[in-house]
């Protein structure tokens, strides 16, 4: 591990020299890449400096234990040594996690797709609850949300809602939300008070830049039509809604929320680009492809990653056996206590694979 830290320290010095050159700002792409790498290395170097300081203090404490003739001083040094060795162990664990190569996708913005699965109108209503939950969480993180497409039902839920989330390291935090979310509650449409179980699927796609995925005019078929509101009612008298079909893959994206055909087309292309980028990533990483397949599925009740139980005010994430008994706060956007354990678990698994 020390050899890796020394290599990072040398790289950190190289970056500082590059960033000090006024000419670097002329190349904004290179400047952005260096700043991103620098922010990661700053964290590693901070912990490395702490580790070196602790190691030096451990050496001093050991010498005191071995060489001092004062028994009281020796006992104090032994106690300090225990504390320092515990701190060294914690720092080693932290640094091992920081030294794991960061997934370049972690820094990307995302496009989220929430779809009602099993449960009819109740599933659509819960899809709207999840959309609000993620919106509030994004707001707490100072991320920006942009609605791209929505298929709303008359009582206020969503059969489907697609939106982008932009901000710092969005994909790193949100990637584990992909999967089937199950809800257990008494629907507002249920007069007998019986608890229903419904399911909603969530897909999290890293948003692709135009340089990541090129979409040529000849690769797609574009249809325009009049948009409609809940229940099929017409909400626009012009052909502003857009449907884009990617000819090679058969992927279809529709967008009708804007009154402008041009804006709807631009939004639909963003979603299509993200889906194509995801397909490319799946080809590169077979493990990630299997993970996504098992997480998203068809929206059936049995394929769940998380359960939201309203009668018990409980949220359970089945992947890490995490249970929290304040669902009401979670739905208000307090997702940190769910997301951080998932990130920590993923990092611990990576550390195991690196050291095994």
User: Above 50 in pLDDT, residue 302?
Assistant: no
Domain boundary among 45, 76, 99: 99
Q: Is residue 143 domain-shared with residue 66, that is, in the same domain? A: no
Given this model, what pLDDT does residue 238 score?
Answer: 65
Pick the last residue of a domain from 47, 70, 99: 99
Token pair for 227: 């948009």
Residue 296 has pLDDT above 60, yes or no: no
Q: Is residue 353 part of a domain?
A: no
Question: In the prediction, which pLDDT does 93 show?
Answer: 82
pLDDT of residue 236: 52
- In this structure, are 49 and 174 located in the same domain? no
CB atoms within 10 A of CB 195: 12
Instruction: Give the number of residues written for the chain.
Output: 356
Q: Domain containing 62 — which CATH number?
A: 1.20.58
Per-residue pLDDT band at 209 (split at 50, 70, 90): confident
pLDDT of residue 70: 87
Q: Taking CA 51 as the corner, what is the angle to CA 45 and CA 56, rounded to the nearest 5 degrees?
A: 130
If asked whether residues 169 and 282 sit together in one domain, one would say yes
Claim to verify: residue 255 and residue 151 sit in the same structural domain: yes
Measured distance CA(174)–CA(167) in Å, rounded: 11
Q: What share of the chain is helix, strand, coil (3-state, %, to 5)?
A: 55, 20, 25
Residue 308 pLDDT > 50 = yes
Sign of the C-alpha dihedral computed for residues 286, 288, 289 and 291 taken in this order: positive
Cβ-Cβ contacts under 8 Å for 191 (sequence gap 6 or more): none
Domain that holds residue 255: 104-348
pLDDT, greater one: 155 or 173? 173
- Are 160 and 149 within 8 A, CB to CB? yes
Closest of 30, 163, 73, 59 to residue 109, by C-alpha: 163
Please give the pLDDT value at position 339: 94
Of all residues in the chain, the percent with pLDDT exceeding 70 is: 90
7 in the same domain as 64 = yes
Helix (H) or strand (E) holding 88, with range, is: helix 71-99
Same domain, 74 and 129: no
Note whether residue 354 is domain-resident: no
Residues 78 and 136 occupy one common structural domain: no
Residue 204 binned pLDDT confidence (cut-offs 50, 70, 90): very high
pTM of the model: 0.70
CA 239-244-249 angle, to 5 degrees, is: 165
Q: Is 117 part of any domain?
A: yes
């Amino acid at each position: 591990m020390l050899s890796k830290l020394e290599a990072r320290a040398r790289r950190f010095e190289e970056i500082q020299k590059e960033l000090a050159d006024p000419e670097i700002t002329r190349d904004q792409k290179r400047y952005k890449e260096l700043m991103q790498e620098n922010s990661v290395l700053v964290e590693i170097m901070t912990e490395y400096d702490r580790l070196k300081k602790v190691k030096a203090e451990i050496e001093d404490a050991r010498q005191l234990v071995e060489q001092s003739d004062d028994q009281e001083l020796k006992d104090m040094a032994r106690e300090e040594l225990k504390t320092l060795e515990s701190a060294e162990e914690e720092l080693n664990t932290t640094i091992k996690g920081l030294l794991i190569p960061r997934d370049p996708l972690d820094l990307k913005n995302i496009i989220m797709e929430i779809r009602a699965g099993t449960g009819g109108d109740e599933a659509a209503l819960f899809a709207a609850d999840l959309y609000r939950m993620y919106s509030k969480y994004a707001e707490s993180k100072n991320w920006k949300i942009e609605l791209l497409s929505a298929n709303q039902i008359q009582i206020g839920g969503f059969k489907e809602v697609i939106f982008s989330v932009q901000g710092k390291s969005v994909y790193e935090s949100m990637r584990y939300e992909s999967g089937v979310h199950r809800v257990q509650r008494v629907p507002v449409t249920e007069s007998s008070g019986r608890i229903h179980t419904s399911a909603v699927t969530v897909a999290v796609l890293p948003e692709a830049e135009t340089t990541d995925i090129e979409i040529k005019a000849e690769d797609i078929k574009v249809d325009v039509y009049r948009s409609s509101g809940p229940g099929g009612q017409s909400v626009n008298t012009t052909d502003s809604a857009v449907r884009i079909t990617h000819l090679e893959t058969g992927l279809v994206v529709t967008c009708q929320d804007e009154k402008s055909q041009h804006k709807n087309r631009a939004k639909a292309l963003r979603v299509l680009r993200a889906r194509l980028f995801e397909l490319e990533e799946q080809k590169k990483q077979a493990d990630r492809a299997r993970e996504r397949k098992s997480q998203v599925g068809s929206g059936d009740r049995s394929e769940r990653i998380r359960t939201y139980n309203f009668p018990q005010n409980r949220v359970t994430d089945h992947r890490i056996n995490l249970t929290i008994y304040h669902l009401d706060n979670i739905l208000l956007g307090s997702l940190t206590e769910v997301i951080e354990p998932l990130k920590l678990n993923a990092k611990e698994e990576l550390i195991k694979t690196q050291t095994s």
